[in-house]
Amino acid sequence: EDQVTQSPEALRLQEGESSSLNCSYTVSGLRGLFWYRQDPGKGPEFLFTLYSAGEEKEKERLKATLTKKESFLHITAPKPEDSATYLCAVQESGGTSYGKLTFGQGTILTVHP
Amino acid sequence: SQTIHQWPATLVQPVGSPLSLECTVEGTSNPNLYWYRQAAGRGLQLLFYSVGIGQISSEVPQNLSASRPQDRQFILSSKKLLLSDSGFYLCAWSVREGTEAFFGQGTRLTVV
């Protein structure tokens, strides 16, 4: 059974204080790893897709990396508007996955001014 | 461009009442469609997925059902709601396996 574990559960940063969020996963075969941002009361917003170990993606202050067992979401010089819950999800390879995602519990990020 | 519409945004229903949540996607054909539920402070749990009209697969046994009467319409239903059905329901779509899913804005369901 696919498992996704995110850490820490909550992270408080000062504006400009860089840090990383972790997503550890266990799948028989990885088709893709996805990062989402979710604001309170809203649906998740897609950020990145990573497909293979060593791959990196960047968007503004966010950078996602992938190894064979985990992914990191690095946040450089965060601003208060980066405050949100960040969700990690994996999609298993194989003919019957149909694009189904298995999500972690999320990391609640709070950036103080 | 593709958009996904989900309604209503919030819903308060008494125990034992029926439920119908609707989701429609615009700007794409034959999408994979999904219903997820998010309990407070937890990750998303997949409830149903559909790869075509009339094709529904259930991931977990529950008091809910889903239907896909048209290519870009996905409906989540219940005949009799339970207190445990309360939660945040999210509809999503993807082009195909291996690509990202895009989510609607969700429906906050409270069963009283």
Instruction: Please answer yes or no on whether B98 and A106 come within 8 Å at the CB atom.
Output: no
Q: Would you write out chain B's pLDDT as a tens digit for each of its 112 residues? A: 779 999 999 999 999 999 999 999 999 999 999 999 998 777 899 999 999 999 999 888 788 999 999 999 999 999 999 999 999 999 999 998 778 999 999 999 999 9
What is the mean predicted confidence (pLDDT) over A30-59?
96
Looking at the complex, report in whole angstroms how far the Cα of residue B16 sits from the nearest Cα belonging to chain A.
25
Quote the pLDDT of residue B43. Answer: 84
3-state secondary structure B36-83: EEECCCCCEEEEEEEEECCEEEECCCCCCEEEEEECCEEEEEECCCCH
Quote the pLDDT of residue B86. Answer: 93
What token pair was written down for A40? 């309170």
Asked if the C-beta of B34 comes within 8 angstroms of chain A's C-beta atoms, the answer is yes
Asked whether the beta carbons of B9 and B22 are under 8 A apart, the reply is: no
pLDDT in tens, A53-67: 999 999 999 999 999
